[in-house]
Copies of this chain bind each other. A is one copy, B any other.
Amino acid sequence: MEYQEAKDKFISTWGSLGTLWGINKAMAQIHALLWISPEPLSMEDIMEELHISRGNTSMNLRQLIDWGIVYKESKPGERKEFFVSEKDVQELARQVAKERSRREIKPVIKVLREVSTIPNDGSKKTTELIQQTKALYELADHADTLMNKIVHQESNWITKTLMKLIK
């Protein structure tokens, strides 16, 4: 396998992975492209490489910037803007963990807490609802605490911790 094939394969795999966890294909592909690009890319560059429209590129770049994993960069003498991705895999993982906690896990935890703390009228169905949602609440809460822990640690804590658990 040579360069072009490997590149295409990576971009398309990363793209379909995205849809699997709530990021759309274009957004994931733009990230993939920037992730492996040694140079900042302009909007033109991205549109051309991925065959997507200007509007699509603009909207998805904005989302990547919101996620904190892509940055704008301006080259001296050039009028247009260029984009680069965060290149450190640890930092990428931290940002993703942080955003997912905020967008997905926190709201669910809130509902689970509300639901699991309704007054128990003693009926079987209410008891079951409380018991089962409480179990989910505790699991989700632990997982979220762990994620936040990761987000606030120094950069290579993730790898070190995973390694410790694995062996």
Q: Which residues of B contact A35 (CB under 8 A)?
A: 132, 136
Q: Which residues of B contact A133 (CB under 8 A)?
A: 6, 10, 36
Bound state CA distance, A112 and B17, in angstroms? 12
Would A115 and B166 count as touching, CB distance under 8 A? no
Would A166 and B145 count as touching, CB distance under 8 A? yes
Contact partner, A3, options B112, B121, B139, B149, Cβ 8 Å: B121
Contact-size category for A: 35 or more
Q: Is A143 an interface residue (CB 8 A)?
A: yes
Bound state CA distance, A119 and B5, in angstroms? 12
CB distance from A82 to the nearest CB of B (A): 16
Contact partner, A20, options B1, B21, B135, B163, Cβ 8 Å: B21
Contact partner, A115, options B6, B19, B123, Cβ 8 Å: B6
Q: Give residues 1-39 of A contacting B (CB, 8 Å).
A: 1-3, 6-7, 9-10, 13, 17, 19-22, 35-38
* CB<8 Å pairs between A and B, sample of 23: A1-B114, A2-B118, A3-B118, A6-B114, A6-B118, A7-B115, A9-B111, A9-B114, A9-B115, A10-B129, A20-B22, A20-B104, A21-B22, A35-B132, A36-B129, A37-B125, A38-B127, A89-B139, A139-B159, A142-B159, A142-B162, A142-B163, A161-B165
Q: A17-B104, A146-B165, A149-B166 are in contact. List 7 more A-B contacts (CB 8 A).
A: A6-B118, A6-B129, A21-B22, A36-B132, A38-B125, A142-B162, A146-B166
